[in-house]
Amino acid sequence: MGAVSTKRLVKKYGSHTVLRGLDLEVVAGEMFALLGPNGSGKTTLFRILATLISPDGGSARVGGSDVVREPASVRAKIGVVFQSPSLDKKLTAHENLRYGGALYGMHGIPLRQRISELASSLRLEEKLDALVETLSGGQQRRVEIAKCLLARPEILLLDEPSTGLDPSARMDLWALVGNLRSSHGMTVVFTSHLMDESARADRVGILSEGSLVCVESPADLLAAAGPEVLRVATTDVPGVAGFLRAKCGLDPHSLEGEVRVSASEAHSVAARLAAEMPSAIASTTISKPTLEDVFLFKTGKRLDE
């Protein structure tokens, strides 16, 4: 059974359609990344899965329960880490965890044990009695994560989990998520606009304008982008793109001051380009494709737009 499954999911805000009949299947135990730029609908999808908003069409099931008809049983199965923290800054970390656990019906010694267990695996023991407002961004995020793991959710939903984290805190976060998966077989679904983060997933779903453009493993996505990517920095974007299309039979993507194309023999393409249009070319770069290239080739748009 799928841990998360949506069918023709639609969400509109006024006349603006944010999700356009989105179909998604996440397998139990899988780590799944929803990759897309701002405005692609990933946070809207996330909120529907977390039972915070209702879809206008289609259906969504999380852990086998319908998010609209059985929200309470969905809520009992999920742990949610929001982009903006859900901690009470006027309380201590420990109080936040205690009240957080009580919301899931936890209490007494089992709750206290669970808090100290998570505090030690998240290196928060020293900070439990500090007011949350005195903690750093990374520490707050760790408290937040501890809070949503208290009740041992089957499915962990993370919205842009590394926002506001420094690189070392980011590494810690992903190491922890990896541990949880291997020890509890937890399903993890996270949204991201970062490529290196998405590459950690078993599968990546690329979201653009409210639809899933493709769902594949990071390796398959990269393989589909071809062996090499040629980036041409130029003052004449239409000219270079036209040349690549007409003379080399390639499918170039035009960007601001740059043309990017997937090519199997990028060196010879670069050499022909330099010979034919020497004055228009500022530089050429050849590299292995990245997930960012994949995103561009699949959607025609840059991820950071």
Does the footprint of another protein cover residue 76 (CB under 8 A)?
yes
For residue 273, which of 300, 304, 237 has the smallest C-alpha distance?
A: 237
Does the footprint of another protein cover residue 14 (CB under 8 A)?
no
Does the footprint of another protein cover residue 226 (CB under 8 A)?
no
Which range touches another protein (CB under 8 A), out of 16-24, 33-41, 103-111, 248-256? 103-111
Residue nearer to another protein on the CB measure, 47 or 127: 47
Pick from 9, 67, 80, 263 the residue near another protein by CB under 8 A.
80
Does the footprint of another protein cover residue 103 (CB under 8 A)?
yes
Does the footprint of another protein cover residue 298 (CB under 8 A)?
no
Does the footprint of another protein cover residue 280 (CB under 8 A)?
no
Residue nearer to another protein on the CB measure, 186 or 263: 186
Q: Work out how close the CB of 217 gets to another protein at its nearest, in angstroms, rounded to a whole number.
A: 29
Does the footprint of another protein cover residue 91 (CB under 8 A)?
yes
Which range touches another protein (CB under 8 A), out of 78-86, 225-233, 266-274, 275-283? 78-86
Does the footprint of another protein cover residue 88 (CB under 8 A)?
yes
Task: Give the footprint of another protein on residues 129-168 (CB under 8 A).
Answer: 147-148
Does the footprint of another protein cover residue 34 (CB under 8 A)?
no
Q: Work out how close the CB of 12 gets to another protein at its nearest, in angstroms, rounded to a whole number.
A: 14
Does the footprint of another protein cover residue 105 (CB under 8 A)?
yes
Q: Work out how close the CB of 202 gets to another protein at its nearest, in angstroms, rounded to a whole number.
A: 24
First to last CA, the chain: 36
3-state secondary structure the chain: CEEEEEEEEEEEECCEEEEEEEEEEEECCCEEEEECCCCCCHHHHHHHHCCCCCCCEEEEEECCEECCCCHHHHHHHEEEECCCCCCCCCCEHHHHHHHHHHCCCCCHHHHHHHHHHHHHHCCCHHHCCCEHHHCCHHHHHHHHHHHHHCCCCCEEEEECCCCCCCHHHHHHHHHHHHHHHHHHCCEEEEEECCHHHHCCCCEEEEEECCEEEEEECHHHHHHHCCCEEEEEEECCHHHHHHHHHHHHCCCCEEECCEEEEEECCHHHHHHHHHHHCHHHEEEEEEECCCHHHHHHHHHCCCCCC
Residue nearer to another protein on the CB measure, 40 or 65: 65
Contact call for residues 202 and 32 (beta carbons, < 8 A) = yes
Does the footprint of another protein cover residue 99 (CB under 8 A)?
yes
Pick from 36, 41, 100, 226 the residue near another protein by CB under 8 A.
100
Contact call for residues 160 and 83 (beta carbons, < 8 A) = yes
Does the footprint of another protein cover residue 94 (CB under 8 A)?
no
Binding site residues, another protein, CB under 8 A: 47, 50-53, 72-73, 75-76, 78, 80, 82, 84-91, 95, 98-100, 102-107, 147-148
